[in-house]
Every structure is written in structure tokens, then in C-alpha cells.
Structure 1
Amino acid sequence: MKVLGCFLILFAFGVVADTPNRPFITFKNNLQEIKLYPSAQTNIYSSNIGLDFYLNYKLIAQIDKRKAHNVEPIAASQILAENTHSTTVLVSPEKTHFLSVYKQLKQLNSVVNVQPDFAIVHQYVQTEHTRKNILKAQKVALLHSPQCISSYRPKRIAIIDHGMSLSEPALSTFNVLLEYDADRQQLLSKTEVTRGHGSMVANVIASNLQSHIIEQGVPAAELVTIQQASTLNSAMILAFSVSQKMQVDVINSSWTLPFVSELLANVIRDGLTEGGISYIIVSAGNHAQDACVSNKLSLIKGVTTVGALSVDGTIAPFSNYGRCVDVYAPGVFSKKEQGSNFTIHGTSSAAAWVTGEVSHLLGCGLTNNEIKLNNNY
């Protein structure tokens, strides 16, 4: 799990002058009206929902697929994702025309919804006065692994993360199909990858897969890695879209999002219902808060949210919790081999463990119904 406050790059745009009580821009998200107000920080806007938004002065629009061409005369655009009925595009107007282009897009009948591209850069801390009662009332859900019913066929996993060097010998168990940077929209070269959080997630997944008996010479899984460090909404949409186009079976993401754009949620739901993705597995978060509040990804129907267990099998004190957590898994992973010596603990580790377990079971021929990993939403 990673804190969203560490947004990496703030471009040198100036704040548009406005009165403190008047919103710079207002947009709809799941019938909720989001109002953004200028702040003292460049490109950072406060909101009526207690979160701060970074804007890059681009727009994301979901458009009727048959009429996507209607956007072209208004401003430069590129496709981020496509589904059966609609196309999600990134629109890049001149900064001085940002608001006027936004208004033009809102008036098009072919536009289902349009929002500014953003990243969340601040969230208010939730109090924990209800934590003990919630934990007492909650039954800890565990993943019980059934036996393989057929010979093993490696499944395809996508990891959406940052810092993913796959040069370690332990990760040679993967057949790597693609290394892509969703922030820069380009393939990653071997010289550009660095070891970081994503590498640790890959290690946990590999360790889980290698703990099962796999046929000699058969890779444990096929792997797609998507570098995504900015948490810009457009880059996250692209990351899930690329994963779907790569026909992955399981997606792992460690981001904890206190606000989720309905445009991103639509792409995620489409991947699960129409795109052939069996599981999208996310970490619950390490804030010791209600996951329904702290990580809005957990509210998306079909997404599997994983909390962390302590060594004694109880819910880890740092783990987010509540009815939005679908399953708990070991939250501590240690590795000591071939010069590698590290320990990680958190819901990222737990989600990676579940990713490996689910990938193995799918590779054994089990269906989602047979795995019985229920989703609470």
C-alpha cells in the first residue's frame, strides 16, 4: 500500500485567478457534485469533499463510441480505453481554453460524462474511535485453497505499480510479456526500470506460485508490468485498459484511493464483466481505517479487496478493515536468498499473496465459482 500524498511531478502551471468562494470547476461523479476551489499552491485545488486535487488542465471524457469523432474539432484527443458502447478519451486543450473546452464537451449529446484529469494529493485523517467495535463484529474472511483438478496452465497477471525491476533470479519464474509506463505512455527499456514497491509485490507473487508444485520447465505465470507512479486518473485508466488489451486473467494494484472517478470505475467494471478479467485484486490500505472510506476501489463491484493478518492470525493493527474487505491474508513477507534480504509487511504484501494464490488456482483449472472468493459488493 502506498500513500497518495507522494505525487511525483507537479508541472509549472499557474493557478487561474478566482474568488475564494467561487469554484474554479464543478463536475459530476456518480451523481455527486464535486467543486474545486483555488488554493495557495500552484495547480492544487481544495474541494467540497475534504480532498485536495492536482489538475494538469487536461480533460477525460466518456463518449458514445459511434460519435467519438465529435470531439476532434474541439481539441486534441487520444483514446485511453474502449468498451462495447463507449470510448474514454483524454482531451488536451490549450491551458487558456481549459474551461471553455470543458463547457463545450458538456454540451455534446454524445458525451456521457466529462471530468478534469486529476490526482489526489491530500486526504484528511479519519478518526479511529469505532475501530474496536468494528473488529469485534467482523468475521475474518480467509481464502481456503481447494486442490488442483487438472494439469497446470500458467495464467496472465498484470501488476500496476511503480519501481518494477524484474532482474532478480527469483523473478525468472515469470514469462514477461510487456513492461509499459502508463505515465509516459511508452514501453519501458531495461535501463529505465528501478527496483521498488512493484519489485517487492512481484517477489511475493512469485514466492506464492513457487510454493506450489508446478510442472518442470513451465513458467509460474505470464506477467505484464504497468509502471504507474503519478496516480493521475488518465494514467490509471490507461493502465487498466492496457491490462485488458493484454488479455490478463488477474490484475494486482496496491493503490489506496480515497476518491475514485466514475470514469475509472467504469473501465474497471468493464474489464471484469466484458473484458475477460477474472480478478482485480487491490490492497485494503494501511491506515487502520474503514476500507469503504479509505479506499474507494473497494466499493467497485467485482473488485477483490485484501486486508492483512498478523502472524497470530488476527487482523493486523495497521490494516484497513470493515465490510468492504473481502479476504484477509498474511501481511508479512520475508525473503533471504541469493543476496536478497528484506521483509515487507502491509496490505500490499497480503494482496500480492492472494494474487499468486488465485493465479495458481485458475491455472489449475478452477473457475471463479469454485475458488469461492466472494466479493462483498
Structure 2
Amino acid sequence: MSHTALITREPVINQHRRITANRLIVHADSVEQAVSSLDGLADVWPEQHMVSVSLHHLLPDRALLEWLVPANTMLEIPTAALGYPEVQALLPELAGQNFQFNLSWYQGQALPPELAWRFVLVDARHDPLPLDPPGLTLAWGLPDLQAFDAAIEKGYTGASGWFFLDGLPLASTLAPSQHQIIQVLNLIRKNAEIREIEALLKQDVALSYKLLRYINGACFGLRCEIQSFRHALTILGYDKLWKWLSMLLVSASRDSSAAALMQTSIVRGRFMENIAASFFPADELDNLFITGAFSLLDLLLGTDMPKALSRMQLPGPVHETLLGQNGIYTPFLQLAGALEAQSKLGLQEAAAELQLTADQINRAHLEALCFAGTLQVS
């Protein structure tokens, strides 16, 4: 993995608790290595949301001029880097090549007047909200959703990080749509008659519509349009349809507070499906997807994981992994979780255990972001 940078990420959340951008943290030995790695991912670059690229601890240098920066991408510049004359000279050149900039770790310092900043990242653990920020302010380092709400009250535009995994106030009972999807899932697992499954689905027209929209989406790649549940079952079969209904369960909440959780669940599932392709037969990859997609099901359903899973008939390896029983899918779920860390150490360890290269991981990661963005679950 020495020739390719590793990429972790954190989402940017707006005041409505929706993911509006992804902050990619590139862990590289040099800017040149970072640029080479990023250019190699152009074909899987996530275009549905804005992307902010952090070079982590590296000082920006002229190797950035070789990067064919995607149109939806912003380069993050640490405020401290502006104290270097070579960086001050470089930034106008980058701006001339259509680079957009974000400013990180801002504390109210004087800035070069000729540069425009889109977002300003502030370490809210230590630094106050700047009185006259040069761009839209994002809080960083928040511990939970309560802290996020307080930051929005103070005047922040949004925040970057995984704070929404803690303190989400969801109902402790299932919404009717979620209960209905679980019933359909269990019928499919039992290979019930089509008419029995259809009758249950027809009770909620909105769910049926959303299911067909998912299946007919560009991410699925079908050559014909699916017109009905019966048609979907004929084309896809029970196993594949079970996967798509599982995704529908993850994204069925109408609580806007859960939007970021939904997006994260789908990214985990798709990443696990992608990265496990060389380890498992094709007909088992749906189980990897479901494991990742259900890994936050306890938070989405507002209960603990054993209770959430008790309502569903899941394959043994999926059930074991989600309950922390060291199932065969566990290393892949751990790898998916390591993508969400600020440090690369956990990601390196998880990758080494599975003997995966940085390029394999990065490509599976970014394609998963593309996939989730195409579904528009948030």
C-alpha cells in the first residue's frame, strides 16, 4: 500500500441534519502521492455531493498543479499553512486552475484578501465561533447531536463529523411503514406466494413506488423498466429483491433527523459488497450489503440491536456479525467502520488483515459514496 494514499471520510451535515458534502481525508506520504491517488479515482469520484479534500498533515505544494481537480471538489487549506510564503504564492495559481478552497482550523486570523473561501472549519472543542468568518462556518469535534443543535443555535451553518451517531432522538416503536417492510422481508425469506407478498405491499403505495424507483435507478443497470412487484420478482428473484427491500427498510424513516444515518448505512453496505467480491461467491454478496446496511439499524429503529434483529429472519452470518459474535463478515464491517475514523491506523490494520491494497479500498469506498448519492436516501 506504500504507493497509494489511504482515504478516510467524514460527512458535512447542514442545519437540517442532512449530508450535503463529504470531507475526504487523504493520508499520504507526500502531496505528489496524494495527487496520484486522487487522479486514479476520477472514474469513481462521487459527484452527487460536494467533496472537500483534506491533505491531513501535509503542507500544500506545487504537485497540486498536476491534479485534474473535479468540478465539485474543494481543497482544504489549514490556516497555519498560510504563514508559509510558498503556500501564499501557490494558492492564486491553484485558483487560476479552477480550484475552490475551504479553510480549516480558523481562529480569526488575517487572511490573503484575493482568495475566496467557501467553508470555514472551526474546532468547536477549543475555539469560539469567529465574529466575521470569511465563509460558511462548520463546527468540528462535536460529541453528539445535542452539541450540534447548540452549535447551530450559536450561528454555525453546519458541522463536519460523526456526531450524529450519538444522541439521535428516535421513537422506540416502529413506524407502520417499517413494520410492513419487515413483514414483507420475512415473507420473502420464507418463499411465500407472490400474491401474499403483493397484497402486503399494496397496503402502502408510497413504499411500493420507492421500491420500484430504487430498482429502476441507474445504479441497478437493468435494461428494461420494472413495472410492478410481480415483474420485479420475475426479473430479480427472491434473493435480490430481499436485498432491495432491506435497503428500503433502512431508508424508510420519515424523520429528517435520520437522513445522515440512512446515507451512512447504505455507504457501509455498498462498500462491504464491493470489497468482499474477491472473497465470496456472487450470490453471497447481498448478505455483505445487508450486514453493512443494517449495522446502524438499532439507531434507525430506536432500540437495541438484539431487539431490532429479533423481528427479522436473517442469514446466520449476518445475524452473528451484527450481534458482535465475530461472524465471518466481521472483518469487512470493521473495515467499513475504519473508513469513518480520523486516523488511518485502524484502516491500515483492517486492510492488512484482509490483505487488501489501498487502491482496492479507495475505489470501493468512493463507488459506495456514488451509489448512495444516486439513491438519494437523504
Q: TM-score, normalised by structure 2?
A: 0.24
Which structure shows the bigger proportion of residues in helix conformation? 2
Query: Which structure's CA Rg is the greater one?
Result: 2
Q: TM-score, normalised by structure 1?
A: 0.24
